[in-house]
Structure 1
Amino acid sequence: MVGSVWAALGLSLTCISALSLISPAWFQTPTFSFGVLTYCSWPQGDSWNQSCVTFRSLEDIPDSAWKVSAVMLLGGWLLLALNAILLLSWAVAPKGLCPRRGRGPMPGVQAAAASATILGLLVFPISLASPFARDVCEASSEYRGGRCRLGWGYVTAIFSAVLAALLPVISRPRVTNVQGATILFSSDTEKIILVPEMHK
């Protein structure tokens, strides 16, 4: 049951992260928006009539900081996808095959994915100083959007990065030590008897 919950969380997080990556709405103006992999334009007041372009390779991406951010964000997403696949395999595998079913090796993979994603999110706003972003956002510079305002794609990416960072912390097992008591099992009464430890 616990493995299934973690698998569902991992798959959901991977889908949310993918949605934010393909979204062109990271920064936007009234007639233009761009994200890590896509940008769109439309006539003034007619946002339903969009024409969008996807960067097909790293050479197409207009700025070096943008390229670094794209590589980090895609790497983080691939690690999240690997994590989701591992979680799913742990959830559906027979009990004898995977003795550590609840967690498996995922916290390390997910922590690496969260780190890569957070670094990519921190690097991406540097690309607001690129000629491409300056043409669109006019007075933009590093970490300043100019005419561009923050879009839902970037906010969703931040949300998924925070969740990816928190889930490994939540999945750690909690060990409680009871000091000063010995637990005895009585077969006569079938009760648990707590006996305080005597210090010498």
Structure 2
Amino acid sequence: MDAGVRAALGLSLTGMSGLSLVSPAWFQSPAFCYGVFTYCSWPQGDRWNQTCLTFGSLKDMPGLAWKVSAAMLLGGWLLLAISALLLSAWALAPRRLQPRRHLGPTPVVQAAAAASTLVGLLVFPATLASPFAKEVCEGSTTYRSGTCWLSWGYATAILNVALTSLPVVGWPQMTTVPRTAVPFSGDTQGIILVPE
């Protein structure tokens, strides 16, 4: 795959991942939704009149699981951004500086980003046991959402980690076949193959 296409994919994945991180739509109830860093509330039946707030720091987050998940997801996003920057630099570098067509440490950075994001996604539903979530999602416990349901922000984050882990599995590698010269005879009726 061309380095420019990989760079474009890496940048778009970074953007989508960042969008899902700032989205408040990870768990949602009829009058409230929350994500990793943002939460919103609105009057019953008037969704256009939302009030949204963000957690200013890790110590503002209501629970250890929330803090761990936020740190892992943010770390995964930062690694994904570094990977996208490396891919972009590789795509923009002159061809003479690229003696071999490999991407250096980029697959390792992408693998670390996917692993960190996956851990954050697996830990995040444990936030349903926090007092904050129990108040919003009545009857919620760890990995049980009560009156809340999963929303598009969490689903987008799952899709991002799946797409991010694809290059870790491996892109198809192009192999070169050694070429041999086939001498032609003066006769235009046939081709004579000469073994080496």
Whole-angstrom distance in 2 between the partners of 1:51 and 1:167: 39
CA contact (8 A) 2:182 2:194 kept: no
1:189 equivalent among 184, 188, 194: 184
Whole-angstrom distance in 2 between the partners of 1:43 and 1:99: 61
Instruction: Name the counterpart of 1:117.
Output: 117
Which range moved further: 100-109 or 122-131?
Answer: 100-109
Q: Provide TM-score, normalisation by structure 1.
A: 0.87
**Structure 1 runs, 4 residues or longer, greater than 6 Å off:** none
Percent of aligned pairs with the same amino acid? 59
AA aligned to 1:33 is C
1:175 to 1:185, Cα distance in 2 relative to 1, 3 A: closer
- Shift in Å at residue 67 of structure 1? 0.2
- Shift in Å at residue 98 of structure 1? 2.7
AA aligned to 2:180 is F
CA contact (8 A) 1:33 1:39 kept: yes
- The yes-or-no answer on 1:45 pairing with 2:40 is no
In structure 2, list runs of 5 or more residues that go unmatched.
186-190
In structure 1, list runs of 5 or more residues that go unmatched.
196-200
- Shift in Å at residue 50 of structure 1? 0.6
Q: Provide TM-score, normalisation by structure 2.
A: 0.89
| Number of aligned positions between the proteins | 189
Instruction: Name the counterpart of 2:13.
Output: 13
Whole-angstrom distance in 2 between the partners of 1:139 and 1:101: 54
CA contact (8 A) 2:107 2:168 kept: yes
Larger strand percent: 1
- Shift in Å at residue 28 of structure 1? 0.5
CA contact (8 A) 2:42 2:50 kept: yes
- Shift in Å at residue 102 of structure 1? 5.2
1:88-167 equivalences in 2 (<5 Å): 88-101=88-101, 103-167=103-167
- Report the 3-state secondary structure (helix = DSSP H, G, I; strand = E; otherwise coil) of the residue aligned with 2:53: strand
- Shift in Å at residue 169 of structure 1? 1.8
- Report the 3-state secondary structure (helix = DSSP H, G, I; strand = E; otherwise coil) of the residue aligned with 1:53: strand
Instruction: Name the counterpart of 2:173.
Output: 173
- Shift in Å at residue 171 of structure 1? 2.5
Instruction: Name the counterpart of 1:60.
Output: 60
Whole-angstrom distance in 2 between the partners of 1:92 and 1:4: 8
CA contact (8 A) 1:2 1:102 kept: no
- Shift in Å at residue 174 of structure 1? 5.7
- Shift in Å at residue 104 of structure 1? 3.3
Instruction: Name the counterpart of 1:198.
Output: none
